[in-house]
Amino acid sequence: MENKTNWYVLFVMGGKEQQICDFMNQEYDNWKVFIPKIEIIHTKQGKEFFVEKVMFPSYLFIESDIPSKDFQDLLKNIRMKKTGIIKELKFDEETPALRDYERKYLEGLLNHDYKVTKSTGYIENDKVMITEGPLKGYESYITRIDRHKKKAVLSLDLLNKEVNVTVSLEIIKKI
């Protein structure tokens, strides 16, 4: 039987995301623990630069082909070794937190470093058209655009609730 890749989600103490992520990646080599991040464009004194922000504060994501039951057992061991893990998010005992369509959606947005980078596009007849970047193909999820600050708000159905995420989007023209 082929092992299926799951994405598990842990709710952790605020500010401890990186520390717990590093610990888990060092202790366990049969999974990849990561913190999804977003590159946001900031302007200071007329110069643009990128600032990296956590996409979902207080959450860690774990990519693994370990079945859910085995993951539960490992998580109990981890919680004895490391403080700061509050709980695992899941729908029921058999289902990890992220369903396949949610995982695929995030995989489409995130690059190989688990970051959402800047997208570029234009507006035609009040409709956003993305020409470059991770938002290409995700235009229908954009709920708000701030052209001046070069930001867009995405509405995601994630973890059984609607989540709004701010990402970088440069609109180069309006037709």
DSSP string, 1-69: -PPPPEEEEEEE-TT-HHHHHHHHHHH-TTEEEE--EEEEEEEETTEEEEEEEESSTTEEEEEE-S-HH
Q: Compute the mean pLDDT over every residue in the chain, rounded to the nearest whole number.
A: 89
Reported as a pLDDT band with limits 50, 70 and 90, residue 93 is low
Reported as a pLDDT band with limits 50, 70 and 90, residue 92 is low
Is residue 1 in some structural domain? no
Lowest mean per-residue pLDDT among 13-17, 43-47, 50-54, 67-71: 67-71
- Name the amino acid, one letter, at 121: G
Q: What percent of the chain has pLDDT over 90?
A: 57
Residue bearing the bigger pLDDT, 97 or 169? 169
Q: Is 126 helix (H, G, I), strand (E, B) or coil?
A: coil
Q: What is the CATH number of the domain that holds 40?
A: 3.30.70.940
The range of the structural domain enclosing residue 69 comes to 6-174
Angle between helices 17-27 and 68-81 (to 10 degrees): 110
34, 163 Cβ separation under 8 angstroms? no
Reported as a pLDDT band with limits 50, 70 and 90, residue 1 is very low
Is residue 106 in some structural domain? yes
C-alpha span between 75 and 90 (Å, rounded): 13
Is residue 100 in some structural domain? yes
Dihedral through CA 165, CA 169, CA 173, CA 175, nearest 10?
-30
Q: Please, how many CA atoms are within 13 Å of residue 104, restricted to the half-sphere of its CB? A: 4
Is residue 38 in some structural domain? yes
Count H helices, E strands: the chain? 3, 13
Residue 66: predicted pLDDT: 86
Q: Please, how many CA atoms are within 13 Å of residue 44, restricted to the half-sphere of its CB? A: 5
Domain count, the chain: 1
